[in-house]
Structure 1
Amino acid sequence: MSEHTLQNSSSEAVSQIVAPDAKVTLHFAIKLADGQVVDSNFEGSPATFIVGDGQLLEGFEKSLLGMQAGDEAVIDILPEHGFGMSNPNNMQRLPRSQFGDMTLEPGLVVSFADAANGELPGIVAGFDEKMVTVDFNHPLAGKNLKFEVKILSVE
């Protein structure tokens, strides 16, 4: 019987790995390939999420599977596993008159209302006196990312 009890306690330790429906608390940083930090909570409170709840993109979640409390890693996330590839259909040409007397410059983020009256950010990609090209792709679409992570706990 005591052997069986030992096996149970060791299997409980094994079950504390990141798996579907596990509650994971971690510190993370998302960086561009050149090391520029896009988002990080290493200086603040850790994040907690349930694997599969949609809070974290699937590609990021999958990279954590099998890790356990105390593990640290830097994981390369390809665009197709991160924020997707840049979609040319998300580039829209709009009349310059729609922007009023706004001072435009490439890279400027402009907020638009979507069909449900929610906020839809777009980035000015280019413009002339008649038309403005706005990129509605996610700013990290098409980018190779580094996902730095330190797992604090897994339940």
Structure 2
Amino acid sequence: MNVEDNKVVSIHYTLTNPEGETIDSSVGGEPLAYLHGASNIIPGLENALAGKAVGEKLTVTVPPEEGYGESHPEMIQTVPREAFQGVDEIQPGMRFEAESAQGPISVVVTAVTDTEVTVDGNHPLAGVTLTFDVEITDVRDATAEELEHGHVHGPEGHH
């Protein structure tokens, strides 16, 4: 059975950045299962897996526009420290939920001074070319419930 829309695909993967540093990996754990064609994974990886079969191994390089998008400078803002009322200690790397015109977004603190905090609302991998080393471990038909919900359910049903 080949990877195609409406199939549940299980993969082992290792994700690296352009410097070759491992960002994430399923190796040594459970494979990642996703519903192919339902936008459960980034487009560049999903497109590269289409038509492949169980046991195939491949290396996929995904440019930002087919991954988490480009980094948008307008998503980086410096705000008064008072905007973080109730938070005693603010450090780079901390994540917060912020309100935007499009609704809540996750932001990460990138810089802190005595009076200001700089936050970045871009996805942490925005603007990064990603490399996936992938092995397809299983392909099966999706259940009616998985197709209806648009995502994979575990072995015991919906989680």
Q: Deviations over 1:13-61 (max 9, x none)?
A: xxx2212222211111221122222221111111222212232122210
What displacement does 1:147 show? 0.9
Give 2:21's aligned residue: 36
Unaligned runs of 5+ in 1: 1-15
The match for 2:95 is 110
Q: Distance in 2 between matches of 1:114 and 1:40?
A: 32
Tell me how large the CA RMSD over aligned residues is.
2.2
Determine the structure 2 residue equivalent to 1:96: 81
CA distance in 2, matches of 1:73, 1:123: 33
Alignment of 1:50-129 (within 5 A): 50-100=35-85, 102-106=88-92, 108-114=93-99, 120-129=105-114
Deviation of 1:105 (Å): 4.0
TM-score normalised to the size of structure 1? 0.77
| Percentage of pairs with the same residue | 31
**Quick check: 137-146 or 124-133, which moved more?**
124-133
Asked if structure 1 preserves the Cα contact closer than 8 Å seen for 2:98 and 2:107, the reply is no
Q: Given the superposition, is the C-alpha separation of residues 119 and 102 from structure 1 closer, same or farther in structure 2, using an over 3 Å criterion?
A: farther
Q: Distance in 1 between matches of 2:30 and 2:128?
A: 26
Cα drift, residue 135 of structure 1 = 0.5
Letter in 2 for 1:39: D
- Out of 91, 116, 129, the position equivalent to 1:144 is 129
Q: Within 5 Å, which residues of 2 pair with 1:1-20?
A: 16-20=1-5
Task: Give, as a single letter, the amino acid of the residue that structure 2 aligns with 1:69.
Answer: V
Aligned residues: 138
Instruction: Tell me the equivalent position of 2:150.
Output: none
Q: Which runs of 4+ in 1 moved over 6 A?
A: none
Larger fraction in helix: 1
Answer yes or no: is 1:48 the counterpart of 2:28: no
Cα distance between partner residues in 2 of 1:98 and 1:30: 35
